Copies of this chain bind each other. A is one copy, B any other.
């Protein structure tokens, strides 16, 4: 986000039809909450279209891409890898180290978000396996809380570039203006 090193989100696993909305929500959450880029499996073209369309209308910068080898993205990542999983270390115990690696040491971060089953390789390749609670809930919720804590709320103040519309915060009702 902004002048920081890159934060990218990698979505593992996608079953067309069944996972369309979850994958799309991973992408839109990544965009709205300060990540710079999301990578989807190459069968998630429909989710890519939706995220690209929202970025066209509501602004960026934000990139969405497909990859035919998520494992190669993880192996080749020049920076630190964070795998979000309910089996990982508690976010409240490790977030300071991750923030420090990103902000102070200037390490790009790859946030890996699984779906159903994640191969053991991913646990081993990650610099941190992180649980946003050790309870079963939602990869979208975990990503959202992680990003809000990583950026300590600064993501809520970001400016959007190239939007053709913007929502004006309102006490009641809806107001959308040309950007």
Contact = CB atoms under 8 A, between A and B. Distances in A.
Q: Chain A, interface size: which category?
A: 35 or more
* Chain B CB within 10 Å, residue with most, of A87, A92, A137: A137
A87 B29 contact: no
Contacts of A126: 172
Contacts of A175: 87
Interface of A: 21-22, 25, 28-29, 31-33, 54, 58, 86-93, 120, 123-124, 126, 129, 131-138, 140-145, 148-149, 153, 155-157, 160, 166-175
8 contacts: A25-B137, A29-B137, A32-B136, A87-B173, A126-B172, A131-B169, A134-B167, A138-B140
